[in-house]
């Protein structure tokens, strides 16, 4: 099928490399397919020469390298095998299409049909059901579909952000160990709306978005390297093949079930007490007073430093001198790469901080849950396990994760530790990036964390609109490169200066370009402060300082 072919091409980016000719022949084709980046300008030659191999032939070549089956014995004694492309997470997760009764009912009906034919989810698949509303549970119960979903492992785990934001929880220990030991390209399939690298689960390399009934179907298939349309999902007790077409409910059956099971009073009764809270919520001790009562012992909410040392009037804008590169990144770096929302690594800067403050790894929660503590979030900035900082490897391979090289010492360390060292020296920092920098979620911490690391400017080929604005809102200068860092001859080891900014900004105007010097390399970069109001924010050091001074002056 087309989906299977596309998977086999995309998985090439995640397979362990070797010298086999068939594997190497697909590298350029895969690179053109994933990740996405801006198309070249009309006068710009393609970065990579076009590859004219037939897609199905390429997929077949890759398929020969997907045969890395690993035998695993699960906690209950079940013996099974794992391989590249196996679905280890199948999650009907909250928000998005869990609020659509038709697709939720379709998932339940497909599960009912599968159970009736004797099918079960594959043993290596971690399944979960997290509706966006308690009403979903009510109409699934009313339709008699809850038991069928549970028979396939789709038990209710809660109402709220789960797998989509990285709250999938750990994989079974045996599965996790096998994935890590054999560097398997494991897969998740979820019905949410986020599938960024490193977000869903640290053991999962590839994440696919699907409708709730297709999530159920892939739990039955157990692999993304399966033609779920043309191949059977399993066999019934008589040995007869069972196909997706045998299980898929008709539109009429879905509509009739929705008509019978969904009632408007369900929504009224469920939401009538939405602000009442349970005994735990109502039992919270609420501080009194006009100001927020900061708890210095809290690892969830901590007083941020944005206003520390803030003068009554904004300081003059200055040019940047003697800056070092903190990270040299490629195309399509998302806000999840910059500020991950998911799990916190035990041995990373954020995990070490939490352990130093008495938090055990099992209680780490996620970056998304600890976004009220800047000490955690700044340590997590650029800490995505799939980040590829080209500066980190030097002349060797590029490692994955939040690491860089501290220069000029040429010492590899975490990005957070390097930023501390640079801050202590008084060395300003810049980030170099490719196209679509900051795409994905409009995450404020992607800009906040960047600023707290000491980054003064981000130089990229292009920016996602909201993240560019957020950088300005935190006082970080967005500059658009005339071409890629590679084409400019930049390695990230240079010392940078940026001039032509201070004089016009302090005079109340906006320059179109600034002059960038990187050792012997010199070029003009376009200033991406696009409006007079953004210029006001930047002159004040950020939108927070601008708003506070504006309130004072009323």
Tell me what pLDDT residue 66 has: 55
Task: Give a yes or no: residue 431 inside a domain.
Answer: yes
Query: Quick one: 330 and 227 in the same domain?
Result: no
Per-residue pLDDT at 217 exceeds 50:
yes
Nearest alpha-carbon partner for 543 in 530, 529, 554, 533: 533
Query: Quick one: 494 and 347 in the same domain?
Result: yes
- Residue range 283-310: mean pLDDT, rounded: 92
Residue with tokens 């009906």: 109
Residue with tokens 């900004």: 505
pLDDT digits (tens, 9 = 90+) for 361-379: 999 998 989 999 999 999 9
pLDDT digits (tens, 9 = 90+) for 33-52: 333 333 333 334 333 334 33
**Distance (Å, whole) CA 41 – CA 35:** 18
pLDDT digits (tens, 9 = 90+) for 173-194: 999 999 999 999 999 999 988 8
Per-residue pLDDT at 479 exceeds 50:
yes
Query: Quick one: 241 and 364 in the same domain?
Result: no
- Residue range 460-489: mean pLDDT, rounded: 97
* pLDDT cut 70: percent of the chain above it: 89
State the burial class of residue 491 (Cβ atoms within 10 Å of its Cβ: 0-12, 13-18, 19+). Answer: middle
Tell me what pLDDT residue 409 has: 96
Task: Give a yes or no: residue 106 inside a domain.
Answer: yes
Please say which residue of 264, 296, 330 terminates a domain. 264
Task: Give a yes or no: residue 248 inside a domain.
Answer: yes
Per-residue pLDDT at 95 exceeds 60:
yes
Please say which residue of 225, 246, 264 terminates a domain. 264
Query: Quick one: 370 and 441 in the same domain?
Result: yes
Nearest alpha-carbon partner for 62 in 106, 17, 98: 17
Lowest mean pLDDT among 75-84, 101-110, 273-282, 440-449: 273-282
Task: Give a yes or no: residue 48 inside a domain.
Answer: no
Task: Give a yes or no: residue 500 inside a domain.
Answer: yes
Per-residue pLDDT at 444 exceeds 70:
yes
Query: Quick one: 137 and 249 in the same domain?
Result: yes
Query: Quick one: 345 and 207 in the same domain?
Result: no
Per-residue pLDDT at 482 exceeds 70:
yes
Are 94 and 203 within 8 A, CB to CB?
no
Tell me what pLDDT residue 60 has: 54
Whichever domain contains 208, its CATH number is 3.30.499.10
Task: Quote the pTM value.
Answer: 0.80
Q: How many helices (H) and strands (E) does the chain have?
A: 22, 17
Provide the domain limits for residue 73: 2-11+66-264
pLDDT confidence of 3, banded at 50, 70, 90?
confident
Per-residue pLDDT at 209 exceeds 80:
yes
pLDDT higher at 153 or 38: 153
Task: Verify cis geometry, omega within 30 degrees of 0, for the bond prior to 408.
Answer: yes
Q: Which of 40-44, 82-86, 152-156 has the highest mean pLDDT?
A: 152-156
pLDDT higher at 507 or 52: 507
Three-state secondary-structure class, residue 207: strand
Are 386 and 337 within 8 A, CB to CB?
yes
pLDDT confidence of 401, banded at 50, 70, 90?
very high
Which phi and psi (to 5°) does residue 335 adopt?
Answer: -65, -20
Query: Quick one: 242 and 345 in the same domain?
Result: no
Per-residue pLDDT at 201 exceeds 90:
no
- Residue range 103-128: mean pLDDT, rounded: 97
Domains in the chain: how many in total? Answer: 2
Average pLDDT taken over every residue of the chain:
88
Query: Quick one: 345 and 239 in the same domain?
Result: no
Strands (E), 302-385: 320-328
Per-residue pLDDT at 412 exceeds 50:
yes
Query: Quick one: 325 and 249 in the same domain?
Result: no
Tell me what pLDDT residue 397 has: 87
**Distance (Å, whole) CA 448 – CA 446:** 6
- Residue range 525-548: mean pLDDT, rounded: 97
Three-state secondary-structure class, residue 523: strand
Per-residue pLDDT at 445 exceeds 90:
yes
- Residue range 524-528: mean pLDDT, rounded: 98
Task: Give a yes or no: residue 270 inside a domain.
Answer: no
**Distance (Å, whole) CA 119 – CA 240:** 11
Please say which residue of 264, 299, 332 terminates a domain. 264
Tell me what pLDDT residue 232 has: 96
Instruction: Write the secondary structure of 486-512 as one string of H (helix), E (strand) and C (coil).
Output: CCCCCCCCCCEEEECCHHHHHCCCCCC
Task: Give a yes or no: residue 216 inside a domain.
Answer: yes
Q: What is the DSSP string of 421-461?
A: HHHHHT--EEEEE-SSBTBSS--HHHHHHHHHTTEEEEEES
Whichever domain contains 488, its CATH number is 3.20.19.10
Query: Quick one: 374 and 450 in the same domain?
Result: yes
Tell me what pLDDT residue 61 has: 47
Task: Give a yes or no: residue 348 inside a domain.
Answer: yes
- Residue range 247-265: mean pLDDT, rounded: 96
Query: Quick one: 374 and 247 in the same domain?
Result: no
- Residue range 114-132: mean pLDDT, rounded: 96
**Distance (Å, whole) CA 166 – CA 369:** 10
Query: Quick one: 333 and 204 in the same domain?
Result: no
CA angle 181, 362, 137 (to 5 degrees): 100
- Residue range 242-258: mean pLDDT, rounded: 97
pLDDT confidence of 342, banded at 50, 70, 90?
confident
């Amino acid at each position: 099928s087309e989906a299977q072919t596309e998977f086999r091409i995309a998985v090439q980016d995640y397979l362990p490399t070797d010298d086999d000719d068939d594997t190497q022949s697909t590298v350029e084709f895969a690179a053109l397919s994933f990740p996405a980046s801006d198309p070249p300008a009309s006068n710009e030659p393609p970065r990579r020469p076009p590859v004219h191999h037939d897609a199905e032939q390429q997929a077949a070549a890759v398929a020969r390298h997907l045969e890395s089956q690993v035998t695993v014995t699960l906690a209950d004694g079940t013996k099974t095998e794992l391989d590249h492309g196996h679905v280890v997470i199948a999650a009907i997760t909250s928000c998005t299409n869990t609020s659509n009764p038709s697709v939720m009912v379709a998932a339940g009906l497909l599960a009912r049909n599968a159970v009736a034919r004797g099918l079960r989810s594959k043993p290596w698949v971690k399944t979960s059901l997290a509706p966006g509303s308690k009403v979903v549970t009510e109409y699934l119960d009313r339709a008699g579909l809850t038991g069928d979903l549970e028979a396939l492992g789709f038990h209710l785990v809660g109402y709220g952000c789960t797998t989509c934001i990285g709250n999938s929880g750990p994989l079974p220990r045996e599965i996790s160990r096998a994935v890590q030991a054999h560097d398997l390209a494991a897969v998740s399939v979820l019905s949410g709306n986020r599938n960024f690298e490193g977000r869903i689960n640290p053991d999962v390399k590839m994440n696919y978005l699907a409708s709730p009934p297709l999530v159920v179907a892939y739990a039955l298939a157990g692999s993304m390297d399966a033609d779920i349309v043309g191949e059977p999902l399993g066999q019934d007790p008589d040995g007869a093949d069972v196909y997706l077409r045998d299980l898929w409910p008709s539109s009429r059956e879905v509509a009739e079930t929705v008509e019978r099971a969904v009632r408007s009073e369900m929504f009224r009764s469920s939401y009538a007490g939405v602000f009442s809270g349970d005994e735990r919520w109502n039992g919270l001790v609420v501080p009194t007073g006009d100001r927020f009562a900061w708890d210095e012992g809290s690892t969830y909410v901590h007083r941020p430093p944005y206003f520390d040392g803030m003068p009554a009037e904004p300081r003059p804008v200055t040019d940047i001198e003697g800056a070092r590169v903190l990270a040299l990144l490629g195309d399509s770096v998302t806000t999840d790469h910059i500020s991950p929302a998911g799990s916190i690594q035990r041995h990373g800067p954020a995990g070490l901080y939490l352990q130093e403050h008495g938090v055990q790894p099992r209680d780490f929660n996620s970056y998304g849950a600890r976004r009220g503590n800047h000490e955690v979030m700044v340590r997590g900035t650029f800490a995505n396990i799939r980040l590829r900082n080209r500066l980190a490897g030097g002349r060797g391979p590029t490692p994955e994760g939040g690491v860089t090289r501290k220069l000029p010492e040429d010492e590899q360390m975490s990005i957070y530790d390097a930023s501390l060292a640079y801050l202590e020296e008084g060395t300003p920092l810049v980030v170099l990036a490719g196209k679509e920098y900051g795409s994905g979620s409009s995450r404020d911490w992607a800009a906040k964390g960047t600023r707290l690391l000491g980054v003064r400017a981000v130089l990229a080929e292009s920016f996602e609109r909201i993240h560019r604005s957020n950088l300005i809102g935190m006082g970080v200068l967005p500059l658009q490169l005339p071409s890629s860092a590679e084409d400019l001859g930049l390695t990230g080891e240079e010392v940078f200066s940026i001039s032509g900014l201070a004089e016009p900004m302090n005079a109340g105007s906006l320059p179109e370009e600034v002059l960038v010097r990187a050792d012997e390399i010199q070029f003009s970069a376009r200033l991406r402060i696009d409006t007079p109001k953004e210029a006001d924010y930047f002159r004040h050091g950020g939108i927070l300082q601008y708003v506070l001074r504006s309130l004072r002056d009323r």
